Amino acid sequence: MKIIEHTIDDIEIIPKSLFKYYKFDTKYNKKRLKGEVFFSSPLKFNDPFDSQLDVENNHEKFTDEWLFKKLFELGYEEIEIKSKIKDLRKANKGDNVVIEIQKKQLENCGILCLSENYISPLMWAYYTNNEGYCIEYDTKNILQDIIVGFLDEIPPYLIDHLINRKNYCEQKRDYKDKPERTKNADNLFSNFNFRNIKNNKLIDMSKDELLYFAQNLYVKRLWGRNVEYTNDLGSVVPTLFMDKNNPIVNKKYYTKLTSWQHEKEYRLILSLGGNKSIKIPSKTIKRVILGSNISNENICSLLSILNSENSQENISICQIIIRNNDFDISALDLSDMLEKYNKLIKSFKGL
């Protein structure tokens, strides 16, 4: 199977809807139904090859100054970076320092794994045991929503780094290298809402500075990609560091074996967003699809969350049903389910 080659200036082509499968979990249901999404580090993936292929050490393409900035944003202390660069200059593929830096990259890389397929029996069985649910997201503003949510999660030291060393408050910072992404950033953030920012390190910025900071985060730190599937992972030769002079984007974060192609996966990849929960507006949720074996008690629990958030009327709710030896979906009678929920609550109170 041929792997499609993406250039570094690609603009995201996102389907109108994307789906995320969830197990029923009383700890996380409310957050999910309020719009919170989790960008996982690839180190937590169940596929040991996913995003974790051996990398070539391409240190020679970069100056010590560039490497210093890169290692600092990965979490290395300034006092140790000089020696790390010295070790890196002597290292070959598979050496300890290369493996160590790659692990740091994986820890800092956040990936939100979504699907274009909401009715796959394999997906329902594997990710929900047919007892969970699937959320359909409206992707119209999802790139902006993720960046706005990410702004509140960036630690102060990293903000200082991005502003003072990386010039993220500069307008059209990457226009020369990434003209199309820079233009797209203007469109994505034309209605940028500054009032929602709560990060104390950012709230004193001028509107222009905050706007440019958000735009540069998108241009450099957020990508949307269809996962590409191959029978031969040996055809993917990732490098330790991204090379902007290479017209092909590094494929290590969105290439998987063909055995996973039934997932029809689409990824949102957030550099420096590893293992971070990002709050996006609950109105992004279009539909909640319930598993075929979800219990009435769990259905009522989910409905009560939606009802308490006053968002139920904007969200369609349906359930997987098995018909003619295949999966189908059927809309739920919400008034009937709410009546069952109220009766259930009364029965508990009477115990």
The structure tokens 């820079």 sit at 182
For 319, list phi and psi in degrees, rounded to 5.
-140, 145
Residues lower than pLDDT 70 in the chain:
1-8, 245-250, 309-313, 334-345, 348-351
Structural domains counted in the chain: 1
For 255, list phi and psi in degrees, rounded to 5.
-125, 130
DSSP one-letter code for 221: H
3-state secondary structure of 199: coil
Domain for residue 330, yes or no? Answer: no
Q: Output the six-digit token pair for 32.
A: 């999910």
Residue 1: the pLDDT is 44
Q: Output the six-digit token pair for 15.
A: 């389907």
Residue 28: the pLDDT is 96
Domain for residue 154, yes or no? Answer: yes
Domain for residue 219, yes or no? Answer: yes
Domain for residue 153, yes or no? Answer: yes
Residues 6+ apart with CB under 8 A from 61: 241, 243, 245
pTM (predicted TM-score): 0.91
For 68, list phi and psi in degrees, rounded to 5.
-60, -50
Domain for residue 237, yes or no? Answer: yes
Model pLDDT for residues 32-89, shown as the tens digit of each residue: 999 999 999 999 999 999 999 999 999 999 999 999 999 999 999 999 999 999 999 9
Domain for residue 301, yes or no? Answer: no
**Separation between Cα atoms, residue 291 and residue 318, nearest integer Å:** 9
Residue 309: the pLDDT is 59
DSSP one-letter code for 96: H
Residue 236: the pLDDT is 82
**Separation between Cα atoms, residue 170 and residue 211, nearest integer Å:** 10
Model pLDDT for residues 223-257, shown as the tens digit of each residue: 999 999 999 988 888 899 987 766 555 688 999 99
Identify the domain containing residue 202 by its residue range. Answer: 17-282
Domain for residue 327, yes or no? Answer: no
Domain for residue 342, yes or no? Answer: no
What are the counts of helices (DSSP H) followed by strands (DSSP E) for the chain? 11, 12
